[in-house]
Every structure is written in C-alpha cells, then in structure tokens.
Amino acid sequence: MPFPGDTLTLKRAIGHRLLPLNLKALVRPGQLPFERRLGTEMPLVVFYTKAQSLFSPYTDARYAYTQITFPNGPVQLLTDGWITVPNGVEMQGSLANDRLSTLLPADWKPTQAVVPSAPAVVLADVQSLSERMTRYASEKAYIHTDRAQYVAGDTLWFKAYLVDGKFHTPNALSQTLYVNLLDATGKRTVSRLVHMDSTGHASGDITLPDSLPSGDYQLLAYTNWMRNADNEFLFRKRIRIDARNAQPDNRIASESKGFRVQVFPEGGQLVEGLSGRVAFQALDNQGHSLSVTVC
C-alpha cells in the first residue's frame, strides 16, 4: 500500500495492491458446454488499453478501468459474455455497462458454440406470446341495466357488449351471449340467449317472475368461448329485487317523490298512419309500479 502523499501508480501496485491473475481459478466450466462460472474472492481489476479514461486511480495507467466484485460468489455467464445468473455481481468503472466477454483477459478463448444471444431469446419469447394471444383470443362481456333495483314482475332492460380481452375493442368473435339471473344461493332463476350483432352489441330484456322473493340477485353473462377460461373472467353484476307488495328496501333512497312513465309501442316503433297497440307502465323513483288513471 502506498504511504500518505505517495502517488498511486500501476508499477508500484503490481505485486502489492494488485496480484497476478490466475485464469484457471477465475473462469471455471459451467453445467452446460456453453456456460462458464466466473468469480474470485478478491475484487477483479480490468484495464482496457485501447481506450483512455479517468476512472483509473493509477496516474501512469489512465486506461479504461473497471473493478468487479463478487459478493455472493461466482456469476454464471454464456460463452459470448451474457450474464445469466448475476449473483449480485457489482461493476464500477468505465466498462461497467459492457458485456463480460469484453472485460475478460485477451487470452481467454471461449468455446465456439452456437448459442442464441439474449436479445434473440427475448424476441422469440415475445413472438411466441403474441402468437398465443392471437390463437387463444379472449373475450370480455359487459351488461348495462336500466337500473339497479327492481320489483318482482318488472321488466329488466339491458344492453350487452362484447370486447376483445386484450385491446378492449368491439369484438364479434362470438354471436351468442348467455345471460342468467342467479339468486343468493347461485341457483338460476331466469335465462336468456342474446344474439350479438356484427359490432359485438345487443339489447334485451328479462321479465322478472312475480314469485321472486326479496333479496340480492346476480346477473351472470358469458359466451361459450369465455367458458374456456376461469370463471373469474365471466361478467357478474349485483342487482336488488323486492318481492311484490313487500316493504321496499331502503338501501336505494331518493328524496324525490316523482314518477316516470315508460311507453312501449307494438313492434318497437310507432308508424304514422297505422293503428297499433301501446303498452305503458308508471314507476316511482325506486322502480316500483304505480297505479295510474288514463284520461
């Protein structure tokens, strides 16, 4: 070690601060022909004499300088210098971001094995993932209802959407959507088959049986394709249904005491000049049917 005030030079450090390199002890064979294990208990100092750098602490050797330490033991690398198991290796200096193959001694001659480089392996994995996502396309369903609380005997109106599970864009992969109404025990009470259009949209309705008891129910929507995945990917929506003539649930409250009237023309539309039947219903602000007088 130099005394205080002494200039640190490479010439004085060799044999004291720097010890000769034992290449066989530094680089050992790995488990596979194209693998190597590299490590030493002491820090490894590397000079690259074809480039200049101020990283070097030695005044007479201002070459590109890197110090490598192996705090957790040898690292595993491929013969082209890519580290596969770093084991916490630490590199400081001008070549710290380079591959180990450029830092090793010039007389190290790795086995000339044909090994895919890391970028090629990563690219292959990405391509494989993309192919799998294309081949096994996923779907997501969504049901939008006209309200969240109903009375037994009401009509539940809904709009259905199918989207691509990857990009969330409209999807027409499936043409049929299954919509089920489940009670609190998971028992199916009503089922509907909804035919989706070419844009992945559809409208429908469910007439709630008069005999349904009060409770929390669940809308379950899915396609046959979606059943290939876990049940967690099926669409579920909670709704409240009160029994007819039962005390309404106060969990959905409103300060208004108004009402609204829904009109349902026969065939869905009124045609000028033609007679037709028109059905209507009056509902309060909680979705309960009201008795009205037609004048």
- Domain edges within the chain: 10-102, 139-242, 254-295
Q: Which helix (H) or strand (E) holds 159?
A: strand 155-164
pLDDT of residue 132: 57
pLDDT of residue 110: 47
Distance CA 138, CA 160 (A): 17
Query: Consecutive 10-residue runs of the chain (295 residues): their mean pLDDT?
Result: 55 76 80 80 80 75 81 82 78 67 53 42 52 67 91 93 81 86 91 90 92 93 84 88 68 52 71 77 74 72
3-state DSSP call for residue 160? Answer: strand
pLDDT of residue 157: 94
- Which letter does DSSP use for residue 240 in this model? E
pLDDT of residue 274: 77
| Cβ atoms of 165 and 137 closer than 8 Å | yes
Homologous superfamily of 139-242: Macroglobulin (MG2) domain (2.60.40.1930)
Q: Which of 217, 203, 204 is nearest to 152 (CA)?
A: 217
Distance CA 20, CA 13 (A): 11
User: Which tokens in the block code for residue 292?
Assistant: 């009205």
pLDDT of residue 113: 39
| Cβ atoms of 149 and 242 closer than 8 Å | yes
User: Which tokens in the block code for residue 20?
Assistant: 């000769």
pLDDT of residue 118: 43
pLDDT of residue 212: 92
